[in-house]
Amino acid sequence: MKKLVFEKYQNNPIMSPDKMPINVLYTFNPGAVKHNGEYILMMDVTPLDGAHKIWIARSKDGVNFTPDPNPPAWPEPDPYHKETCVYDPRITKIGDEYFILYASEMPLTDVRLGILKTKDFVNFERISMGSEPGNRNGILFPEKIDDLYVRFDRPFGDEKNPCFMWLSFSPDLVFWGKTRPLTYKGLPFRDGHKMGGGAVPIKTDKGWLEIYHVVNGTVSGFIYTLKAMLLDLDDPSKVIGYTRNHILWPEHDYEMRGRVANVVFTCNAILEDDGMVKVYYGAADTNIGLATAKLDDIIAECLKDE
């Protein structure tokens, strides 16, 4: 049997609703980083009222997580608009600050991207509402390119329509432009019925490594899987290579049954000092699993058919 790129932790899921300090329906789709020797998960959590919140859990070993007593507090977008639902955070470290891009819903508006920053995961500062409505899966690159911040976008219309990955650029994290789609061999890059950014990109000597999600239809609905791509270091809108095969997919009960069946979904990828990549992934929008792979193996899989 062919060796798989990612290996799932044998005691998955590592986080589930019954581990929360209050009664909740679901725990899923965390952003994740290492901060001061501690693993931080910023998880989607759905309380009994059904409105997603972001909740922090912490761990010393990367496996056993303890949720905070309460969700973090951060500034509302403005005095007249309060967020009713927030989810799918991606955490990017630049210097000594962590920038969080997440999906934000408010009354009378479609989903859009919110941008916060923190140094300690206790105190948060609002930077902006970073997109027009109808955009999510926003992910900030960990360094500027040509003196501009770079962000993955996933604009969409109707949820059932095809939608794909774009890049936008900004001088200040407030005003965004120069938006363009990803391309592969000079043509717009399309993979699956829908695709969107997952992890914060990892810089390697072969290119920017991005782990992304792909959505395809089946007779019983959509299935969410993970793949990976390498992007040009100087122009990350250019795809150098990508995995033809899925590198993580639903196969166990905790990934196939839940709020949304047949889903593995990531908002993170942590590169360890030994070259291993940890991915904390949402499973069926209900639990959180852990999978690991060697960085070199993921890169090799991206370039195998080039």
CA torsion angle for 122, 126, 127, 128 (degrees, to 10)? Answer: 140
Q: Which two tokens stand for residue 187?
A: 């043509």
Residue 12: pLDDT band (50, 70, 90) is: very high
Q: Which two tokens stand for residue 97?
A: 């600050």
| Global pTM value | 0.97
Q: Which of 12, 4, 140, 124 is nearest to 65 (CA)?
A: 12
126-155 pLDDT, tens per residue? 999 988 888 999 999 999 999 999 999 998
Stated as kind and residue range, the H or E segment containing 207 is strand 207-218
Greater confidence (160 vs 209) lies with: 209
Residue 161: pLDDT band (50, 70, 90) is: confident
Q: What SS3 state is found at 18?
A: helix
For range 10-35, the mean pLDDT: 98
Please report the DSSP string for 127-189 in residue order. Answer: EEE-S-SSEEEEEE-SS-BTTBEEEEEEE-SSTTS-B--EEEEESSSSS-EEEEE-EETTEE-
What domains does the chain contain, in order, with CATH numbers? 8-303 (2.115.10.20)
**How far apart are alpha carbons 122 and 137 in whole angstroms?**
24
Please say if the pLDDT value at position 158 is more than 80.
Answer: no
For range 171-189, the mean pLDDT: 97
